[in-house]
Amino acid sequence: MTQTDPGFHSDHDHQHCIDQALLTARDLCRQRRQRLTPIRELVLKLVWQNHQPLGAYELLPALAAAGFNSAPPTVYRALEFLQQQGFVHRIASLNAYVGCPHPDRPHRSGFLICHRCKRAIELDTAPVHRALSASAEEVGFRIEQELVEVVGLCPDCQQQEATHA
Amino acid sequence: MTQTDPGFHSDHDHQHCIDQALLTARDLCRQRRQRLTPIRELVLKLVWQNHQPLGAYELLPALAAAGFNSAPPTVYRALEFLQQQGFVHRIASLNAYVGCPHPDRPHRSGFLICHRCKRAIELDTAPVHRALSASAEEVGFRIEQELVEVVGLCPDCQQQEATHA
DNA sequence: TTGTTTGTGTTATAACATAACATGAATATA
DNA sequence: TATATTCATGTTATGTTATAACACAAACAA
Ligand SMILES: [Zn+2]
Ligand SMILES: [Zn+2]
Ligand SMILES: [Zn+2]
Ligand SMILES: [Zn+2]
């Protein structure tokens, strides 16, 4: 993650986010000899509808509307696959899933989550990782996975709160 | 959090952890004019049985054994109170609760979680916070809450894995 | 005492997630 | 092509985590 994600810029061309995510996913699956089935692709698209993490059960009606008679296991399987491929991340504090804007290479993901507009934007956690590594090393702990979820107010919502008041 | 928590030292006097937690809780509740009822105190004691986060539903049998005929809401209410007072923390990635070793002053909590022995040890997240603040400021995000949960292997378990192999 | 707030009991249900097995599609092998 | 195998999905049931809503009683304040 070198550049800032566009997610908190409310005027960005989000269709571009979606298109890019789907193209990248197709490409990576081809390279990796993985199957991006219709259900998996649809789930990915739905998760990318916007930058707000989506719960697994919120996907079910949309799948039904698209003609898939799916039950929870189907959704969870698709999400599991997409997570394994690095196309989506799970936000533990929300029990929800969000698209990854740079699935091409493995990375440590952290999130800034706005409690007002509900958008979650992926964060560059390299500096956080350095701090964590140092702390962990002090006590001899071997890190395998890092979960960083920050809740607060995004720039847009700060403005709106100020205006409203 | 100035000193290291004893949680990853398997030979520490854990009864001391428990006693200290209960004493501090009683003291703080007196100061704050809050009621540490029998159920709340018992839940706190149960959560402190060891350094392994405990699920809400795991508390129910113990409450029953102590003569409280409690249902889930009772446990969640007690946990909510204890969290508000800063006596326990919730680990989102485990859906579980663990005692806080320094409830006397508010602080940002982070955790090192061993996936082998299941212990979760609270971490000094001041350095992490500095890194996060910097990243958040870059995009104009106002932080209100930080969730940091690191999964890996504690020193004890690293040794045991090495020995076993 | 009286009224109010607070904590708990109780029942029901919501929200999130997985186990287990059947079936059919895609892929690999011969 | 035929066959075997793997993989994705359908299906049913259930497990796990958490909360809503209302009744009641204890603690507290006046
Ligand atoms: Zn976008
Ligand atoms: Zn916002
Ligand atoms: Zn201890
Ligand atoms: Zn361990």
* DSSP 8-class letter at A54: B
CA distances from B156 to A133, A144, B24, B63, B118 (A): 18, 16, 29, 31, 12
Within 10 Å of residue B99's Cβ, how many Cβ atoms?
28
pLDDT at B19: 96
CB within 8 Å: A139 and B8: yes
Selecting from B123, B132, B134 the residue whose C-beta is nearest the C-beta of A150 gives B132
pLDDT band at A2 (very low <50, low <70, confident <90, very high): very low
- pLDDT greater than 70 at residue A45: yes
Across chain B, mean pLDDT equals: 93
| Burial (CB count within 10 angstroms: exposed 0-12, middle 13-18, buried 19+), residue B35 | exposed
Per-residue flag: B73 CB under 7 A of strand C: yes
A28 touches chain B (CB under 8 A): no
Task: Tell me the CATH number at B34.
Answer: 1.10.10.10
- Beta strand residue intervals within A1-91, DSSP E: 88-91
Q: What is the mean pLDDT of residues B114-127?
A: 95
Q: Could you identify the residue whose CA is nearest to the C1' atom of nucleotide C10?
A: B71
pLDDT at A4: 55
Question: A14: domain range?
Answer: 7-164
User: How would DSSP label each residue in B113-165?
Assistant: EETTT--EEEEE-HHHHHHHHHHHHHHT-EEEEEEEEEEEE-HHHHHHHHHH-
Q: Does the residue B84 lie in any domain?
A: yes
Q: How far is the CA of A40 from the centre of ligand 2 (A)?
A: 28
Q: Does the residue A130 lie in any domain?
A: yes
pLDDT band at B1 (very low <50, low <70, confident <90, very high): very low
What is the reported pTM? 0.92
pLDDT at B4: 54
Q: Name the domain count of chain A.
A: 1
Per-residue flag: B106 CB under 7 A of strand D: no
Q: Does the residue B140 lie in any domain?
A: yes
pLDDT band at A41 (very low <50, low <70, confident <90, very high): very high
Q: Does the residue A2 lie in any domain?
A: no
| Burial (CB count within 10 angstroms: exposed 0-12, middle 13-18, buried 19+), residue B162 | exposed
CB within 8 Å: B150 and A139: no
Structure-block tokens of residue B33: 């004019």
Q: Does the residue A1 lie in any domain?
A: no
Which residues contact residue B138 at a Cβ distance below 8 angstroms, ignoring those fewer than 6 apart? A4
CB within 8 Å: B112 and A139: yes
